[in-house]
């Protein structure tokens, strides 16, 4: 069973935490990671193409002229697609690009992303953050003490409330998330992942107890 150091905010080891065999023995499958990243990005995408149909364009419901006797072709509405400024037949509408993956696949992709960070020594755990008040400078100093201030860092905390959120959110190279909202994409695109001890233990428990 592998172990990871628990660091204080100065970067010194104060304790150790055991990593379950379920994680350390897991082989990274790039196909599963690719499918989950593709699903996440597709779910985040929103369609913007839109054309108005005949029921949406401006115009009256009045018949332009009488049915017979004018010499003109029959017409029922000036919103007809045959008319200038009329609606579009089968025009584009915003579409949903999202698709679903099996819950087991999503869960396994998160574990694989964690294994990848652990193997590369890119996963750090601190005992906790003690911000008496919001302070971006203090948050920066924490990252500097851990020697990751120049990298893209994913900070994982218990919940997105409190002084630590207000302290880290203004740093341009920091992504903030809670252990419940963590996803494979953010784990992979970050250079380092910084957990609090509490959020790491809760995340492991949640992933271990996941059922589908």
pLDDT for residue 10: 87
Query: What's the alpha-carbon Rg for the chain, to the nearest Å?
Result: 27
Could you tell me the CATH number of the domain that includes residue 14?
3.40.1370.10
Does 73 map to a domain? Answer: yes
Closest CA relative to residue 207, chosen from 180, 188, 185, 189? 180
Cβ atoms within 10 A of the Cβ of 154, count? 23
pLDDT for residue 212: 40
Q: Along the 212 residues of the chain, how does pLDDT read in single tens digits?
A: 678 899 998 888 888 998 887 787 888 999 999 999 999 999 999 889 999 999 999 987 889 999 999 999 999 999 999 999 999 999 999 999 999 999 999 999 999 999 999 999 999 999 988 888 999 999 999 999 999 999 999 999 988 888 989 999 999 999 999 999 999 999 999 999 999 999 999 988 887 765 44
| 121 shares a domain with 202 | yes
Domain boundary pick from 65, 81, 96 = 96
| 171 shares a domain with 129 | yes
Residue 117 sits at the vertex; the CA angle it makes with 42 and 28, to the nearest 5 degrees, is 70
| 132 shares a domain with 75 | no
| 112 shares a domain with 136 | yes
Give the range of the structural domain holding residue 70, as residue numbers without chain letter: 55-96
Report the domain count for the chain: 2
| 69 shares a domain with 20 | no
pLDDT for residue 210: 55
| 138 shares a domain with 67 | no
Residue 204 and residue 111: Cα distance in Å, rounded? 9
Does 69 map to a domain? Answer: yes
| 103 shares a domain with 92 | no
| 103 shares a domain with 87 | no
SS (H, E, C) 118-160: HHCCCEEEECCCCCCCCCHHHHHHHHHHCCCCCCCEEEEECCC
């Amino acid at each position: 069973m592998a172990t990871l150091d628990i660091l204080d905010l100065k970067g010194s080891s104060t304790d150790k935490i055991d990593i379950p065999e379920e994680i350390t023995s897991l082989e990274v499958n790039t196909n599963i990671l690719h499918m989950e990243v593709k699903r996440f990005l597709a779910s985040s995408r929103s369609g913007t193409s839109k054309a108005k149909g005949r029921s949406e364009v401006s115009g009256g419901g009045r018949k332009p002229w009488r049915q017979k006797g004018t010499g003109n072709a029959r017409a029922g509405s000036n919103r007809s697609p045959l008319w200038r400024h009329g609606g579009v037949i089968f025009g584009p509408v915003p579409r949903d690009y999202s698709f679903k993956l099996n819950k087991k696949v999503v869960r396994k992709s998160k574990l694989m992303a964690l294994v990848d960070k652990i193997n590369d020594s890119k996963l750090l755990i601190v005992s906790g953050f003690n911000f008496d008040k919001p302070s971006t400078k203090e948050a920066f100093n924490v990252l500097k003490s851990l020697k990751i201030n120049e990298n893209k860092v994913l900070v994982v905390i218990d919940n997105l409330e409190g002084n630590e959120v207000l302290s880290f959110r203004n740093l341009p190279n920091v992504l903030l998330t809670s252990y419940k909202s963590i996803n494979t994409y953010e784990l992979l695109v970050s250079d380092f992942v910084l957990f609090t001890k509490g959020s790491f233990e809760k995340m492991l428990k949640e992933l271990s107890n996941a059922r589908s």
